[in-house]
Structure 1
Amino acid sequence: MAVSNEIEAVKVSLRINTVLFDDEISALIDSAKSDMAGAGVDVNDKNSTALVMQAIKFYCRAYFSVTADSEWARHYEDLRDAMAARGAQTE
C-alpha cells in the first residue's frame, strides 16, 4: 500500500483535497510502481526518488478518470522507459 506522503503528493498533482479517493489513489500508486518495476526501474533507488514520484504523478493523472488520458500516459511511459534505460546503463 502506498505511503501517506505519496498519496498527498499525488492529491496535490490531481488538485484533490479530500480523503474520499485515497484508496483509489493508493491503488494507482501501487500499480505505477509495479509497472515501473516490471520495466526494469528500481523504484527503491534513493537517487531516483524525485523521478519515480514524477512518474507516479503522470500515471495517476493518466488513469484517475473514467477514461485514460493518452497524453499523460505517454508522458509516464516516456519517463518510465528513460529511467529503465538509465538503470540498465549503470549496471
Structure 2
Amino acid sequence: MIQEVLAESFSSYKLASFLGSFLFADIHLPHHDIFLFGPGFFSILIPLAIWFIMMFLVSILFIFARVKSGSIFGAIACNSGYILGMSLFVYHFLLL
C-alpha cells in the first residue's frame, strides 16, 4: 500500500495519508472529463475542484476503513460500496 511506503519515507503516517489521498484524487481527475474541451477552462474549474476535494475525502474514508478494520478488506468493502452507490446514483438520477 502506498501509505506504508510513504510513511516509511516521511516518518509520518498522517503526511503519507495526505499524499496518498492527493495522488488518489489526482488519478481520478480523468473521470471528471478533464480532457474534454468545453466552453472554456474556467467554466470547469469549480466543478473540477469540487470533484478533486470529494475524491480526496473518499480516499481518507478508505484509509479510515482500512485502519479501523486492520485489513485491506475494510477498504475494499468501502470502495465496493462506494462504486455500487455511485453506479446506482448515475443510473437512477442521470440516465432515467
TM above 0.5: no
Normalising by structure 2, we get a TM-score of: 0.40
1 or 2 for the larger relative contact order (CA 8 Å, sep ≥6)? 1
- Greater helix content: 2
